[in-house]
Every structure is written in structure tokens, then in C-alpha cells.
């Protein structure tokens, strides 16, 4: 409505101050406006965007670090420019214009660098407005989450959600709560075990760098066993493996200490007991004699049990539900070796 009123104002003033007919006739006619660019016969256009200096799935970068947005345009038409708008959490935070330059093979390219001073989800939106030489086109990049790397217990927000998402993509058992809670801490310890870092419930720059490269994946040793459990004593982690060798979940674990080692071998779950028994074992899955996968109140980051495979009590229920009687259990050290002795007094 406001626009209509503004457009009407010149007409009102024209009525009030209109000159005489003879005066109006003596004035030259107003100049015609310049014709708008026509796109008749203009080349079509399309653009593909790629991100550099980012990592992970979904992609992320550190606050204060530089990312690169590169666009490749087909076909290349000389003298064309594009507008690149950067949005953070849905708000426009920067606009730049770039000339498309030839790269051969009939294509052109442009690129911009961008640094975010704060955390948030950043996206590049590119627009080429129609000219007489080339039609309009545009595109949006994938969103990049800029994160604060130093996250400890109790941290919350977008950076924690990104951390949880990256761990989930790698199949670690982790909540998607946006809070670095105990469940996230357990997943972090399992990840740190797999990547050889200090076994603490803390995410730092090194953790994010490794996640960005896809490091820390679980290497399945017995793909031919179908749906099974693998206990890697070297890394002190336990993994649920689906059909075809697909990793479904990775958990932190504590196996038998040197004086009471977990027996090495390939077994099957022969008995399951729900709840807590007299030895404090929770939701137990027995795979040979008294050796079982079970929840326990104490699960250190190192081998400390009396032969069983301890897991944190909050993880025990999910593992118990996944494991069935007859499920294969493969227990091994990465370099081979270990104890083959089945002791009669194995325990939690």
C-alpha cells in the first residue's frame, strides 16, 4: 500500500503545478528510457559450486579459519560477473562480486575466500543476472558449520551437535542432544581409543581434524560372520556388525586385565540374562562359560575386568537388545596373540 501511495504522489503534484498548454507544447518530449537488456539469443548458463578447506560429513570448519567457495560456469562467456552472498544462520553477512574467468574446455570459474568470526551455519548463494550475452543462473553451496573446537563436559550448542553428527556418521553410539553429556563423552572416549589419542571425554582441534578426514573408522576383521559382534582388545572397543560387514555401532569397552585376560577366539552367544546379577553384571550376553558382554558400574579406559567384556551400564541395554542367542562374538588383538585359555572363574 505504501508503494502505491508513493507512486501516486508525482501525479498529484503534476495536477497542482501543470503549466499552460502552450508552455507544455514548447517543451521537448521526455527522453525514452534505455531498453532493458534482451536475452534473446543469449547463451544459457549453469554453475556448480565446490567447497575447499572444509572437512567432515556434514562439512565443517573452525571459527577463524578460511574456507574457499569455487564456482565453475558452463559455458564461459566473456565479461560476465556473479554476485556471491554469504549467509550465516539465515542472515546475509557478506556480498562480493566476481568476474568469471576462462579455464578452457568452454568453461569459466570464480572463487572467494570466507572467514567466519563466530560459530554458525554458513552458506554461499551465487546469482548471475541475465545479460544480452548470457541467461540468468544461480546456485547454493552446501552449508558449512563453523565450530568452536574446544568442547568439554557440559558444553552445548551447534558445535556440539556437529560433533555428535560427525561421530554418528562414523557409527559411534552417541546421542544427538546438542549437549556434551555422558553419552557423548563415552562416544568421544571410544573415538579417541580408535585414533590413538588420550582417552578423555573432551573434543579439541585434533579430534575435529581427524573427524574431518574420516579417520577413526572401525576395521571389520570377520566380514564372513554376517551379523556379529567384534571385540578389539587392542583398541578396547566393541562393535556391532551388520550383514555384509556393515558397522552399526561402536562402544567403549574394558576387557580382561593382564592377570585375568579375555579369551581370544570366535564364539557364539549361548545364554542371555536380563537385569543385574549377584556380581553386578547388567544385561549379560555369555559367549563361553563365564565370559560375557555385560554392563558394569566401572568401565575404565583400559583393560581391567576379570575376563568379561565390560561396557557402560547405559550402553548395556541397547547391546542386549541387539545381540541374540547364537550371535557370533569375535575377540581378537590387532597384531594377533592373546590368551586362548578358557578359565573357569572368569568374571566381571
The model's pLDDT over 103-116, given as tens digits with 9 standing for 90+, comes to 999 999 999 999 99
Residue 12 has pLDDT above 90, yes or no: no
Per-residue confidence (pLDDT) for residue 41, from 0 to 100 = 80
Contact call for residues 215 and 167 (beta carbons, < 8 A): no
Banded pLDDT at 95 (limits 50, 70, 90) = very high
Q: Which domain holds residue 104?
A: 46-146
Domain boundary among 213, 237, 270: 213
Per-residue confidence (pLDDT) for residue 141, from 0 to 100 = 97
**Rounded distance between C-alpha atoms, residue 137 and residue 123, angstroms:** 17
- The count of domains in the chain is 3
Per-residue confidence (pLDDT) for residue 31, from 0 to 100 = 52
In a domain, 202, yes or no: yes
Across the range 272-276, mean pLDDT stands at 98
Model pLDDT for residues 30-76, shown as the tens digit of each residue: 555 544 454 568 999 999 999 999 999 889 999 999 999 999 999 99
Contact call for residues 232 and 303 (beta carbons, < 8 A): no
Residue 28 has pLDDT above 70, yes or no: no
Model pLDDT for residues 64-92, shown as the tens digit of each residue: 999 999 999 999 999 999 999 999 999 99
In a domain, 290, yes or no: yes
Shared domain for 107 and 200, answered yes or no, is no
In a domain, 11, yes or no: no
Residue 15 has pLDDT above 60, yes or no: no
Per-residue confidence (pLDDT) for residue 19, from 0 to 100 = 39
Instruction: Output the domain CATH number for residue 295.
Output: 2.40.440.10
Domain boundary among 213, 238, 269: 213
Shared domain for 76 and 88, answered yes or no, is yes
Model pLDDT for residues 225-245, shown as the tens digit of each residue: 999 999 999 999 999 999 999
Banded pLDDT at 29 (limits 50, 70, 90) = low
Model pLDDT for residues 170-200, shown as the tens digit of each residue: 999 999 999 999 999 999 999 999 999 999 9
Per-residue confidence (pLDDT) for residue 39, from 0 to 100 = 52
DSSP per-residue string spanning 283-339: EEEEEETTEEEEEES---SS--BSBSEEEEHHHHHHHHHH--TT-EEEEE-TTS---
Looking at the chain, which runs of residues are DSSP E strands? 46-52, 60-62, 66-74, 81-88, 91-99, 101-104, 107-115, 120-128, 137-140, 144-147, 228-232, 237-242, 246-252, 265-268, 271-276, 282-288, 291-296, 309-312, 328-332
Shared domain for 135 and 89, answered yes or no, is yes
Model pLDDT for residues 283-342, shown as the tens digit of each residue: 999 999 999 999 999 999 999 999 999 999 999 999 999 999 999 999 999 999 999 999
Shared domain for 110 and 99, answered yes or no, is yes
- DSSP type of residue 18: P
Amino acid at each position: 500500500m505504501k508503494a502505491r501511495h508513493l507512486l501516486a504522489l508525482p501525479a498529484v503534484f503534476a495536477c497542482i503545478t501543470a503549466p499552460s498548454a502552450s508552455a507544455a507544447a514548447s517543451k521537448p518530449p521526455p527522453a525514452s528510457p534505455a531498453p532493458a537488456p534482451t536475452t534473446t539469443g543469449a547463451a544459457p548458463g549453469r554453475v556448480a559450486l565446490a567447497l575447499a578447506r572444509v572437512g567432515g560429513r556434514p562439512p565443517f570448519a573452525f571459527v577463524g579459519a578460511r574456507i574457499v567457495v569455487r564456482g565453475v560456469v558452463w559455458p564461459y562467456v566473456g565479461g560476465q560477473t556473479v554476485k556471491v552472498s554469504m549467509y550465516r544462520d539465515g542472515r546475509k553477512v557478506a556480498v562480493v562480486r566476481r568476474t568469471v574467468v576462462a579455464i578452457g574446455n568452454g568453461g569459466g570459474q570464480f572463487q572467494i575466500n570466507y572467514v567466519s568470526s563466530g560459530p554458525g551455519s554458513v552458506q554461499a548463494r551465487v546469482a548471475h543476472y541475465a545479460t544480452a550475452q548470457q541467461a540468468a543462473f544461480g546456485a547454493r553451496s552446501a552449508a558449512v558449520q563453523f565450530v568452536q573446537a574446544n568442547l568439554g563436559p557440559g558444553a552445548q550448542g551447534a558445535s556440539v551437535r556437529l560433533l555428535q553428527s560427525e561421530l554418528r556418521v562414523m557409527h559411534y553410539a552417541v546421542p544427538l542432544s546438542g549437549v556434551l553429556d555422558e553419552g557423548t563423552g563415552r562416544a568421544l572416549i571410544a573415538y579417541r581409543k580408535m585414533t590413538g589419542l588420550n582417552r578423555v571425554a573432551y573434543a579439541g582441534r585434533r579430534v575435529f581434524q581427524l573427524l574431518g578426514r574420516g579417520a577413526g573408522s572401525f576395521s571389520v576383521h570377520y566380514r564372513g560372520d554376517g551379523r556379529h559382534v567384534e571385540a578389539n582388545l587392542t583398541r578396547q572397543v566393541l562393535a556391532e556388525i551388520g550383514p555384509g560387514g556393515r558397522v552399526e555401532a561402536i562402544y567403549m569397552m574394558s576387557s580382561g586385565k593382564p592377570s585375568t585376560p579375555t579369551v581370544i577366539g570366535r564364539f557364539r552367544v549361548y545364554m542371555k540374562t536380563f537385569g543385574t546379577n549377584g556380581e553386578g553384571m547388567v544385561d549379560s550376553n555369555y559367549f563361553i562359560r563365564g565370559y560375557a558382554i555385560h554392563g558394569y558400574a566401572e568401565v575404565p579406559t583400559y583393560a581391567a575386568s576379570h575376563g568379561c567384556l565390560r561396557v557402560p551400564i547405559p550402553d548395556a541395554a541397547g547391546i542386549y537388545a541387539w545381540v541374540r542367542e547364537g550371535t557370533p562374538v569375535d575377540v581378537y588383538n590387532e597384531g594377533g596373540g592373546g590368551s586362548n585359555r578358557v578359565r573357569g572363574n572368569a568374571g566381571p
